[in-house]
Amino acid sequence: MTNVHGESFDLPTPDGTADAYLAHPDDGAPHPGVLLYMDAFGLRPALEAMARRLAGHGYTVLVPNVFYRSGRTPLVELPEHINPAERPEIFATLMPIMQSFTPDMAVRDAGAYLDWLAASPLVADGPVGTAGYCMGGALAVRTAAAYPDRIAAAAAFHTGRLVTDTEDSPHRLLDRVTAELYFGHADQDQSMTAEQIAVLERTLDEVGARFRSELYEGAHHGYTQTDTAAYNAEAAERHWQALLDLLGRTL
């Protein structure tokens, strides 16, 4: 693992300014870029630590606050250990913010994030990878579909609602994706049932995608997030191996 530098900064977008976090090897050299998408709890120390860990493997990692239109992070006061069952007001605050964040906004923002990475001297030329957690996984898929020539790898971990009845459901966009894809499903996740996983995998097969879709047994929605009640150390380490393998193959 190399020494890593991490910093917060402001990133301009067509709709305003996103507060963001950047982690990269401390050598001043360009490294492959990774766009890391947050879960609903947002940009916080635990997510910054994940970005630094990934950067330690030789990547320049950008983590934007995707809810910047609603304010800078933290948008809601978070305890050191997040257990939504004990703190229902957290999701009560976040839910309207999540619902106001449309796929069109997400795709427009992704273009700004990718432009920023492409212009940065800390990022190597060529396509980048993207990975997302919980709702961030759907953002990773949407980004790979909207910018197929710019995304070489996309990973989604404990991501719900990849298969919905809506016309713009993430699984309906898969025919536009050229990136290699990885899905790490939590088997204790009501937002991504066995039936929905089957539809996702069938769609991936139909469009000829390069993908791996794996079930993490005994894991709950949020298993990678060290500061939440859902954290599962064994599943989280498995996710790191899968993510590093994917990025190593593609970037």
Tracing tokens 């996103």 back to the chain, one arrives at: 18
Active site residue 189: yes
- Cβ neighbours for 87, distance < 8 A, ≥ 6 positions apart: 79
Phi, psi (degrees; rounded to nearest 5) at 24: -155, 155
**Helices (H), ranges, the chain:** 45-55, 88-100, 103-119, 135-146, 194-206, 233-250
Of the residues 19, 24, 109, 134, which is catalytic? 134
Q: What is the DSSP letter of 125?
A: S
Phi, psi (degrees; rounded to nearest 5) at 7: -155, 150
Of the residues 19, 39, 109, 189, which is catalytic? 189
Distances (CA, A) of 83 to 97, 225, 226: 19, 11, 12
**Shortest CA distance to 120 belongs to which of 48, 65, 62, 53?**
62
- Structure-block tokens of residue 159: 């991501």
Of the residues 24, 158, 221, 239, which is catalytic? 221
- Cβ neighbours for 165, distance < 8 A, ≥ 6 positions apart: none
Round to whole Å and give the CA distance between 98 and 135.
9
74 prior amide bond cis, ω within 30: yes
**Shortest CA distance to 85 belongs to which of 239, 236, 220?**
220
**Catalytic positions, please?**
134, 189, 221
